[in-house]
Amino acid sequence: MTPEELEQIAEDERASQGEFPHRVNVCVAAGCISCQSLSVKEAVDKEIASRGWQKKCQSKGVGCMGLCAEGPLVSTGTGTLYQHVTPADAGEILDGLDTHPPDRLICRTDVPFFQRQKKIVLENSGVVDPERIEEYVGASGYGALMRVLTDMTPSEVVQEVTKSGLRGRGGAGYPTGLKWSTVAKAVGKQKYVICNADEGDPGAFMDRSVLESDPHRVLEGMLIAAYAVGASEGYIYVRAEYPLAIKRLRTAIRQAERIGLLGASICGTRFSFHVDLRLGAGAFVCGEETALIASVEGKRGAPRPRPPYPAQAGLFGEPTLINNVETYANIAPIIRNGGEWYAQIGTEKSKGTKVFALAGRVLNTGLVEVPMGITLREIVFEMGGGIPGGRRFKAVQTGGPSGGCLPAEYLDMPVDYESLAKAGSIMGSGGMIVMDETSCMVDVAKYFMDFCMTESCGKCVPCRVGTFQMNELLARITARTASTQDVTMLEELCDLLRNTSLCGLGQSAPNPVLSTLRYFADEYTAHIQEKRCPAGVCGAESKES
């Protein structure tokens, strides 16, 4: 594969796409598939065949279009978006291509949910067919890789990424350029690049969506990273719970190998890169990098103390670069448009965009990509459309079990790594769960503590014993049998876990408790002193029929 050959593939693809006057795209990401979008696709194909429109209208399955709540979603070449499409609507949609689109199915795209987004990571989602490499190449895919291999030295690549100000999208926000340069400088026989696709935070589905909608983008990011740090082998550690993402990744790897974009001497250079999948097996702790490495090595996912960091001694004891799916997905656009371009987006310390999975008690649930620095209010109320059923907003939860719950006072806070941390939450991987007055914050804190307790690997005592004890205390509060002393003890345990746990899981496990104690102390008081649950959640399950 040479740059010219790649360009040829891109041109052929664009030409063959251009032959069709019309196009119908059906979302075939997991969200819409569970609303039967595959039968919609089938119906569209059948309708095209029965009309003899094979040369007039192209139909294809594409990735996530974002507004999962209104699925199955279908779009046309002219940009009309349809929602809640059923197989019976296929004829009407095709009729509407030449004339007037059927009004009853239209999903408006001139609303903030779509207009406020800035798509970098998701630029191809909902546009290209994730199962065809040609489409990705046709959308300038692998162009950045070619440029890197032919025009840039590894250190120039690292510099470009450093210039972009990109920070790790897995949650902690470590500067990506710095991580790359550490691995590049490390000495080892064999270096590895790992993609962390073990999206374990409940309530987060950005990575799943990127892998299902645009898997080649992640591979290209990994290839560029491998070239920059001098690695020749890579692994994608993906959750076994995401069968569709696994299938599409396998297809993508096979296709890239077939046309020589993965394998030995890529693009006629001395650069070689092999990538393989490793399936996670349902352990939240494996999102922690040293635990993930243990799991790739076929062991139990128990973390180990750092240093040495994986950059020095990671997989099989060799220097290893680990980044999250979304981080890799940002790399190709950064190389294509330059680090400075990327650095213009976002805030001073948090550059670029972030993909959020908006879910919970909000009207428009789905996936949004927004520039850093946007306020929570804009995301929840303007893009998300606010709270359904005329109920009141109570909190927004970011960062999953490691994050916190932010109350209405923080709605005007800009979303960036520092502001979220200062408010007692974290950016996390991008899950954003909106809660209204029907949620009890003590119950939510208990939910997360129960999660951390179950997911604690058991290696270090503070986490193993501490999460259990905290869960017991919270259970007592929700059962309304706790005393004020229990809260004091809860606070002490928070402090203990935070400062003495071995890894991020234990260190951040107190966050949901601390943030709810800080902002919703009145709910704790009501449970303890007045023996009642203001939201009517605690103790209600047994009564529910």
By C-beta, is 34 or 155 nearer to another protein? 34
CB of 89 to another protein, least distance (A): 19
By C-beta, is 221 or 384 nearer to another protein? 384
CB of 419 to another protein, least distance (A): 21
Integer Cα distance of 235 and 222 in angstroms: 9
By C-beta, is 276 or 495 nearer to another protein? 276
By C-beta, is 322 or 435 nearer to another protein? 435
Nearest to 177 by CA among 231, 234, 225: 225
CB of 200 to another protein, least distance (A): 7
Nearest to 237 by CA among 309, 303, 191, 292: 292
By C-beta, is 20 or 447 nearer to another protein? 447
CB of 283 to another protein, least distance (A): 5
Binding site for another protein (CB under 8 A): 30-31, 33-35, 68-69, 71, 199-205, 208-209, 240-242, 278-284, 295-301, 357, 359-361, 365-367, 397, 400, 431, 433, 435, 438-439, 444, 447-448, 451, 455, 457, 541-542, 544
CB of 436 to another protein, least distance (A): 9
CB of 293 to another protein, least distance (A): 11
Strands (E) located in 349-398: 353-360, 366-371, 393-398
Partnered with residue 196 across adjacent β-strands are: 237, 324
DSSP 180-230: HHHHHH---SS-EEEEEE---STT--HHHHHHHH-HHHHHHHHHHHHHHHT
CB of 543 to another protein, least distance (A): 10
What six digits make up the tokens of 180? Answer: 């790359």
DSSP, collapsed to helix, strand or coil, labels residue 511 as helix
Integer Cα distance of 467 and 462 in angstroms: 8
By C-beta, is 382 or 437 nearer to another protein? 437
By C-beta, is 38 or 178 nearer to another protein? 38
DSSP 512-527: HHHHHHHH-HHHHHHH
Cβ(385)–Cβ(364) under 8 Å? yes
Nearest to 424 by CA among 321, 296, 515: 515
Cβ(430)–Cβ(326) under 8 Å? yes
